[in-house]
Amino acid sequence: MNAVLEPLAPAPATSASLPLGEVAGLQTWWDYRPSEPDLRIRFKRVAARLFHERPRPAAAPIKPVDPQERWVAYFTFLPRGVLSDAHRFTLGRLRDEGCRVLVICATPEVSMVPEELRRYADALYWKALEGYDFSAYTLALEVIAERSPAADVLILNDSMFGPFHPVLPYLRGARWDLMGFTGSALNENHLQSYGFILRSVHAARLAQLRDVFFANKAFDRADQVICAQELLLARRASRHMTVGACWYSDGATVDDPCLRRPIELVGAGFPFMKKSLLGKMARFQDPERVRALLCAQGHPVQRQDAQP
């Protein structure tokens, strides 16, 4: 009798099965190494902690997290309570890929959270407008640590177009405990915090990162968040876990990978592109090239999708 062969299940993704394309001026598979910030950054960091800490913004669950192996936590900042086509594109791509999506939605009042988000979100939480993205990241990590312990998490904010490539292979194949998509030596070696992956989120791991994901405070200005949270994240994490980035700029030829090499990065497998390239950072790239890439990816390009 001939044996019936069952189809093999696909092998789990690993960093070896996650090919990264080469991009001129960038290093792939970079192991984080701390570097020293200059006196300006040190001063701004101290000043932020001494003079600019604010109470943590209010938050409330709408659709709580449940236990899952992996989450994508997506922060949407909606001061008017209205989703853009860019938000819908991102959420639709994540849903269609099969991601479990946690949305942290910032609006002036919880009643302004768009009902439409329920179509995309497996879990949904409201946050007040204050606190910038790190206060949303903190909320996401806390609820996952409590309600879905040991899950791997992709954290993403809505400053990016995309994804233009699947993100689950990055989640499954993360080489480090804390993995950035891009790292930079600008100001000091750090992971760019529009998006990163943290593996095995549980209470002990979150406790190791409380220096940047504050339990009871927040900042209300971008430069304070950058100096006192984003730039410190990799440094603090490296004391307890492995840290690295898929692409890294040492500053010799490229200062910011996402501004200087956006088209090349997407071609190399990077899933995202900064919205600000059609807004305040348009000087870094030809906007028509950016629009052409978006159109080629089936992305609707409208005024509301560009960051001012």
Mean pLDDT, all residues of the chain: 92
CB-based contacts of 167, cutoff 8 Å, min separation 6: 72, 94, 97, 99, 154, 271
Question: Is residue 296 situated within a structural domain?
Answer: no
Per-residue pLDDT reduced to its tens digit, 17-51? 688 999 999 999 999 999 999 999 999 999 999 99
User: What values do phi and psi take at 28, rounded to 5?
Assistant: -95, 155
Question: Is residue 290 situated within a structural domain?
Answer: no
Question: Is residue 278 situated within a structural domain?
Answer: no
Per-residue pLDDT reduced to its tens digit, 86-133? 999 999 999 999 999 999 999 999 999 999 999 999 999 999 999 999
CB-based contacts of 8, cutoff 8 Å, min separation 6: none
Q: How far apart are CA 72 and CA 153, in angstroms?
A: 6
**How many domains would you assign to the chain?**
1
Residue 43: which of 187, 204, 219 has the closest Cα?
A: 187
Is residue 86 a contact partner of residue 305, using CB atoms and an 8 Å limit?
A: yes
Choice between 181 and 302, residue whose per-residue pLDDT is larger: 181
Question: Is residue 5 situated within a structural domain?
Answer: no
Question: Is residue 16 situated within a structural domain?
Answer: no
CATH classification of the domain holding 130: 3.90.550
Q: pLDDT band for position 308 (50/70/90)?
A: very low
Question: Is residue 305 situated within a structural domain?
Answer: no
Show the tokens assigned to 154. 């992709």
- 132: region left, alpha or beta (phi > 0 left; psi from -120 to 50 alpha): left
pLDDT of residue 286: 96
pLDDT at 1 exceeding the cut of 50: no
Mean pLDDT throughout 285-308?
81
Question: Is residue 283 situated within a structural domain?
Answer: no
Range of the domain at 43: 23-253
Question: Is residue 146 situated within a structural domain?
Answer: yes
DSSP H helices, 210-285, are 222-225, 231-237, 257-260, 262-267
pLDDT at 9 exceeding the cut of 60: no
Per-residue pLDDT reduced to its tens digit, 213-237? 999 999 999 999 999 999 999 999 9
Radius of gyration of the chain (CA): 19
Cβ neighbourhood burial of 126 (10 Å; 0-12, 13-18, 19+): buried
- Residue whose token pair is 């339990």: 215
Is residue 11 a contact partner of residue 17, using CB atoms and an 8 Å limit?
A: yes
